[in-house]
């Protein structure tokens, strides 16, 4: 597939040699299936050697090249930061993310294994993510390998494989896909099929982390990657599956998104709308990067959903940018190639029976808090978890509930948790009350709708804090009497936008050490990107900005439009005037 005329040639697998590509591409090739690490001088050792040295306490952290391979195994190297973000010497640790297609469903035994790991290997907390996964924070070197082995043996064998890295990441679905009595689109079933089809096939993960019964360490048994090849994808790749009444996964922000088609009054999962090219990350002061929503490609049958995802992965592998990683996502590749050309490839080369149709309307983002009827005559209960951070008292309540009542847990894209298969509502409520868990019904709408990323002081990409300061911002909103205004806030510490601020009604991301960009006007359906309201707001003015904007939603909205719609339609200068705070970048 040739690029459009007059387009500067990208660096791709089809057009360029390895020497023209980024360092990451060389690291992937030399790893021979994510197993070998170069010292940068052509000498190789195994990734397992570095992990063993960590466990013995001989090294404080991974080397720079091993760090890149560790991402494919769900691991991020991190370093403590003190005043004004300065890195703390020798304070190295890791963030470990689990593989969790569809946000569960997690059995009581799986939940117990994850809960045990928080105390044994991490900082005593569990962190639910905006992609329906879970992270362990402050995992120090000696505990890294024991944690992965624990997860592989007690959670799932590929416990953290492909949770990060230049491969397909966690496949998202609406958390109510298997629960909703009205629709049975079988999205969770599809998500598991997609996760299996697009998982790395090299045996290196198991060779690095799992010794045999005698403790023997073998060389890599099979380095082959029949789908990804020796260089994998140019960047991460994300897939999401929406529900007819719930777009909490933000389907248009995915590299590939699927929406079930409702026939009559029911979605049975036989027909799906296909989208491609969404993604919210950008780079400050680089106008070639931008948040973008997915493009509608057409409609396909259930039998071709997995084939269509595989085909798009192959197109991205072949045509994605391999030198400038900022431009390497599928959202840029599909626009460079052209939607019509991509559709022609899907139909002709890959045999996808893609037909044109009017796309299915998207449902709104749902919180799923409180009690709901579940398919089969049971109930599910949604628990609001502020920023997804589960401390020991909350962990104790959840563990008692799932183990004593035999419940299944599902994770939501809003960093919350659902108790599923509840037969005795009073028994669950009694457990929560005994542990002092605050019910979502008693939490203000602003607080329980808000999400954030962990950001500083752990994430190496973060410019500002997010999880640690958003609760204080909301304290100020509540003190002003605005805590029950129905508005959705999302915040990140950098413009990678992991918690999806560009589709929020109010979105915030970090700029510099203490400044924030404020966006407004996204939609609950995830069909519109927010626009910039403030280009730079110092941290000490953020409460005033948020209070002023939310007060404007309450007091200057006579039509009672949804917050995002009101902010989308209103002149930004007028909103700033009502808020009483000027743009710091003006």
Per-residue pLDDT of 321-367, as tens digits, reads 999 999 999 999 999 999 999 999 999 999 999 999 999 999 999 99
Confirm if 389 and 127 have CB atoms less than 8 A apart.
yes
Confirm if 167 and 201 have CB atoms less than 8 A apart.
no
Is 136 buried (19+), middle (13-18) or exposed (0-12) by CB count in 10 A?
Answer: buried
Residue where one domain finishes, among candidates 297, 332, 348: 348
Looking at the structure, tell me whether residues 65 and 209 fall in a common domain.
Answer: yes
Looking at the structure, tell me whether residues 342 and 471 fall in a common domain.
Answer: no
Number of Cα atoms under 13 Å in the Cβ half of residue 280: 30
Question: Could you give phi then psi for residue 303, rounded to 5 degrees?
Answer: -65, -15
In a domain, 537, yes or no: yes
Q: In a 3-state reduction of DSSP, which class is residue 306? A: helix
pLDDT at 213: 46
Q: In a 3-state reduction of DSSP, which class is residue 509? A: strand
**How many structural domains is the chain composed of?**
2
Query: Domain of 539?
Result: 446-579
Looking at the structure, tell me whether residues 185 and 318 fall in a common domain.
Answer: yes
In a domain, 405, yes or no: no
Whole-angstrom distance, CA of residue 509 vs CA of residue 493? 5
- CA-wise closest residue to 500 among 173, 131, 166: 131
pLDDT tens for 179-212 read 999 999 999 999 999 999 999 999 899 989 986 5
Looking at the structure, tell me whether residues 318 and 456 fall in a common domain.
Answer: no
Element (H, E) at 533: strand 531-538
Q: What is the pTM of this model?
A: 0.95
Looking at the structure, tell me whether residues 452 and 342 fall in a common domain.
Answer: no
Count of C-beta atoms within a 10 Å radius of residue 22: 17
Confirm if 564 and 524 have CB atoms less than 8 A apart.
yes
pLDDT at 102: 84
In a domain, 376, yes or no: no
pLDDT at 584: 75
Confirm if 506 and 546 have CB atoms less than 8 A apart.
yes
Looking at the structure, tell me whether residues 191 and 313 fall in a common domain.
Answer: yes
In a domain, 508, yes or no: yes
**DSSP alpha helix (H) spans, 23-100:** 23-30, 47-55, 64-72
Looking at the structure, tell me whether residues 207 and 336 fall in a common domain.
Answer: yes
In a domain, 62, yes or no: yes
In a domain, 150, yes or no: yes
How many angstroms separate the Cα of 573 from the Cα of each of 341, 431, 577, 580? 41, 49, 6, 10
- Burial pattern 168-207, b for ≥16 Cβ within 10 A else e, equals bbbbbbbbbbbbbeebbbbbbbbbebbbeebbbebbbbbb
Looking at the structure, tell me whether residues 56 and 173 fall in a common domain.
Answer: yes
Which residues, in sequence order, are CB contacts of 578 under 8 Å at separation 6+?
Answer: 548, 549, 551, 552, 555, 556
Residue where one domain finishes, among candidates 282, 317, 348: 348
Cis peptide before 105 (omega within 30 of 0): yes
- CA-wise closest residue to 80 among 65, 95, 90: 90
Looking at the structure, tell me whether residues 344 and 469 fall in a common domain.
Answer: no
pLDDT tens sequence for the chain (586 residues): 544 455 568 999 999 999 999 999 999 999 999 999 987 777 899 999 999 999 999 999 999 999 999 999 999 999 888 776 678 888 999 999 999 998 888 999 999 999 999 999 999 999 999 999 999 999 999 999 999 999 999 999 999 999 999 999 999 999 999 999 999 999 999 999 999 999 999 989 998 998 654 455 555 678 889 999 999 999 999 999 999 999 999 999 999 999 999 998 999 999 999 999 999 999 999 999 999 999 999 999 999 999 999 999 999 999 999 999 999 999 999 999 999 999 999 999 999 999 999 999 999 999 999 999 999 999 999 999 999 999 999 999 999 999 999 999 999 999 999 999 999 999 999 999 999 999 999 999 999 999 999 999 989 899 999 999 999 999 999 999 999 999 999 999 999 999 999 999 999 999 988 999 999 999 999 999 999 999 999 999 999 999 999 999 999 999 999 999 999 999 999 999 999 999 876 5
Confirm if 419 and 428 have CB atoms less than 8 A apart.
yes
In a domain, 11, yes or no: no
In a domain, 403, yes or no: no
We report the CATH number of the domain holding residue 218 as 3.30.413.10
* Chain mean position to CA 384: 18
Q: In a 3-state reduction of DSSP, which class is residue 132? A: coil
Across-strand partners of 337? Answer: none
Residue where one domain finishes, among candidates 348, 381, 407: 348
């Amino acid at each position: 597939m040739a690029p459009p005329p007059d387009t500067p040639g990208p660096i791709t697998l089809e057009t360029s040699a390895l020497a023209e590509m980024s360092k990451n591409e060389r690291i992937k090739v030399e790893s021979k299936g994510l197993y070998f690490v170069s010292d940068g001088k052509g000498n190789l050792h195994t990734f397992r050697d570095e992990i063993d040295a960590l466990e013995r306490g001989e090294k404080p952290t991974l080397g720079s090249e091993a760090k890149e391979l560790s991402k494919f195994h769900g691991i991020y190297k991190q370093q403590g930061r003190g005043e004004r973000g300065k890195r703390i010497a020798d304070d190295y640790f890791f963030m470990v993310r689990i593989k969790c297609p569809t946000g569960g469903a997690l059995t009581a035994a799986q939940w117990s294994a994850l809960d045990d790991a928080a105390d044994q290997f991490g900082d005593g907390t569990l962190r639910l993510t905006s992609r329906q996964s879970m992270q362990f924070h402050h995992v120090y070197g000696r505990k890294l390998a024991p944690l992965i082995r624990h997860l592989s043996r007690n959670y799932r064998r590929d416990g953290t494989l492909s949770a990060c890295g230049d491969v397909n990441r966690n496949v998202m679905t609406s958390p109510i896909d298997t629960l909703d009595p009205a629709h049975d689109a079988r999205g969770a079933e599809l998500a598991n099929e997609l996760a299996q089809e697009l998982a790395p096939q090299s045996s290196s993960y198991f060779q690095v982390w799992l010794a045999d019964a005698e403790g023997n360490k073998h060389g890599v048994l099979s380095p082959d990657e029949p789908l990804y090849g020796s260089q994998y994808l140019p960047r991460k790749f994300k897939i999401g599956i929406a529900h007819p009444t719930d777009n909490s996964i933000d389907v248009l922000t995915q590299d590939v998104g699927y929406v079930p088609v409702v026939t009559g009054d029911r979605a049975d999962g036989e027909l799906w709308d296909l989208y491609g090219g969404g993604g919210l990350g950008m780079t400050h002061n680089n106008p070639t990067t931008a948040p973008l929503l997915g493009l509608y490609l057409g409609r396909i049958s259930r039998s071709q959903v997995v084939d269509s995802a595989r085909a798009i992965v192959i197109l991205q592998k072949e045509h994605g940018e391999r030198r400038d990683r900022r431009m390497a996502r599928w959202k840029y590749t599909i626009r460079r190639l052209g939607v019509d050309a991509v559709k022609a490839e899907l139909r002709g080369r890959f045999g996808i029976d893609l037909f044109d149709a009017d796309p299915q309307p998207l449902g709104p983002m749902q919180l799923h808090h409180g009690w709901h009827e579940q398919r089969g005559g049971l109930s599910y209960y949604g628990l609001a978890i502020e920023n997804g951070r589960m401390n020991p008292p909350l962990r104790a309540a959840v563990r008692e509930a799932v183990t004593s009542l035999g419940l299944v847990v599902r994770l939501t894209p809003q960093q919350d948790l659902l108790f599923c298969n509840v037969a005795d509502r009073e028994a669950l409520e009694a457990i929560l009350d005994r542990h002092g868990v605050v019910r979502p019904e008693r939490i203000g709408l602003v607080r329980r709708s808000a999400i954030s990323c962990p950001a500083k002081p752990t994430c190496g990409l973060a410019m500002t804090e997010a999880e640690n300061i958003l609760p204080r911002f909301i304290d100020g909103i509540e003190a002003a009497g605005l805590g029950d205004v129905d508005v959705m806030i999302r915040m990140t510490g950098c413009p990678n936008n992991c918690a999806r601020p560009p589709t929020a009604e109010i979105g915030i991301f970090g700029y510099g050490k203490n400044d924030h960009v404020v966006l407004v006007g996204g939609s609950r359906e995830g069909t519109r990107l927010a626009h910039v309201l403030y280009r730079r707001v110092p941290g000490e003015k953020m409460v005033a900005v948020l209070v002023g904007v939310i007060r404007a939603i309450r007091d200057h909205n006579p039509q009672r439009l949804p917050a995002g719609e009101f902010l989308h339609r209103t002149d930004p200068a007028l909103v700033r005037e009502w808020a009483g705070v000027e743009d710091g970048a003006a």
